[in-house]
Amino acid sequence: MEKKRRTSIFEKLLLVVGFLLLLMGYFFINRVFAAEGYKVSWGFLQTIFLWLLMVIFIIMLAIGEDIKEGILLQQLDEIKSLREGMLKRRK
């Protein structure tokens, strides 16, 4: 049976920051697009590209944190099993 792990405060904060980044970025990009008369300019494309890079960075950070937590839980299980094995061998 697989253990369910709890989300850390960092992951919850990362989720909130990610949603705020998505919403604020979309809102500001939409305002700039409307202010430029619904025309695509080079600055507009750079802004979209940088916004997408920030979104990808947040996603990669969340994936890395999840992998780190999984590895730590596996190591904790291995340490517990080693400890139990050593205690059994002592008796």
Range of the domain at 29: 9-90
Work out the mean pLDDT of the chain and round it to a whole number.
89
The verdict on residue 51 lying in a domain is yes
Per-residue model confidence (pLDDT) at position 4 = 74
CA distance 47 to 54: 11
Per-residue model confidence (pLDDT) at position 56 = 95
Total domain count for the chain?
1
The verdict on residue 4 lying in a domain is no
Per-residue model confidence (pLDDT) at position 89 = 87
- Confidence check: pLDDT of 6 > 90: no
- Residues 32, 37, 38, 39, Cα dihedral to 10°: -100
The verdict on residue 2 lying in a domain is no
CA distance 75 to 73: 5
The verdict on residue 39 lying in a domain is yes
pTM over the 0.95 mark:
no
Residue 48, CA distances (Å) to 33, 42, 58, 60, 72 in order: 10, 10, 15, 18, 36
* DSSP symbol at 31: H
| Residue % of the chain over a pLDDT of 90 | 51
Mean of pLDDT values over 25-33? 90
The verdict on residue 46 lying in a domain is yes
- Confidence check: pLDDT of 35 > 80: yes
Per-residue model confidence (pLDDT) at position 25 = 93
**What angle is formed at CA 83 by the lines to CA 78 and CA 85, rounded to 5 degrees?**
95
